[in-house]
Structure 1
């Protein structure tokens, strides 16, 4: 007796669906092999500085953009709350990815529209520019820091889904605490750096691009970039220690893109060789303080040291 047509059709659809799933998995594998030389895309992780176990994991490309958004904010004197609002907005609008498409002519991290006066396409696709434009509009909102995040974000973005920003607030809070330096040693990234040796000139240019010309990085031997910690630069709500951790976390977030091998500050060190692990306190510094000290564990509280891969 022949099978009913419905069952035959259903079986055929199941086989087709399985074939499509296998094909998509194969395409994804090929992309990873081609782009990353057989290695998975690097990941980053931020943990709560309050010891409550909260954490957020995200890609290195997202970390690069998040660090730029935070640095542009503090360099303009914006508060941690402003950075939180900006990060939650970018998480909702683009997933913290600099995308060249969207609804109508929307572009970039914040899905800003050239037709609405946000800038031209090239400008909006520059994360530093688009973040600066977001902060300009946010600053013009009276009492934005006291408003619910969804309200503040919506007054800038005028989105069709204003409540969607709320779900990103917990992750944005963790990111902002780390990237403004208030929560020390809370951001780590896997250490797959660029295949080419790191270029000190590119690191210095990226620092100036994100933080402005108040940052005066210098180069040393062996591809080292040293960044003096100026507590008066940017918002620096928590003083020199917070400023130092802001710069140190920025460097870790940019490690994959800029070929950074090690970052040291306040007696602590992140290294690509210790990929994805917590900041270490090498030598005697490891005996002098617990995780979270603001630049007073050992030496190096007056500068951030960035060592590039060779």
Structure 2
């Protein structure tokens, strides 16, 4: 009973945090480019985690480091840059809706690569969700010709990375402390992020002084949207199922759309219907009976 209550509390907290992440990325992009935003997000998060989780690292075995490294790249490093490029080109609220593909991809990846089973109703949910995603992209490109909806594919790729990440965590790292896993992730990708950031010329003092507000948004995004949220998410995976954990994407669009509308973004009826199809698909994939 305690686990049931805990997982729902964590789910709601994650929805609020991650739902707000998209608008924070958008604001950070005002004075920084997508590569800088992605790299700085990793660096700030790493510094936060090293302060609180470094002492647990010696408990990690060599085999666990192998899986931690994989999840670090496909579940954090690459998506950080993909989302930055996507939010730069299309509305943050649309990005959040497309992110809802994660549970669908989690089911497919879990079935094809990790031996997890599914029923016909769940497969129907995947098909409905993918149709909704395709409609959302095509309708968005038609309604917003000034936005490049090819960048929506970056969100789809990121969601596939998240799907592999969730399944690897559940199958191979379920016995490892959540904070230890996420700290290990950032130990792996911290130096690569520094190298990427240096290559952009960010450390020019003029660049830094002109980007103070963007840096503040990134600090908020990193401390809450990545460090705290990833630790909570890993904990959620351990006390629930991969599909339940990924269903946080039910609630993320609601929060993200709220912030997007406040920031002047517009959603049309066709886009709402496409979003509904995606969430309906996610709902069906979560129905075991």
Using structure 1 for the length normalisation, give the TM-score: 0.26
Q: Which structure carries more helix by proportion?
A: 2
Q: Which structure carries more strand by proportion?
A: 1
Higher relative contact order (CA 8 A, sep 6+): 2
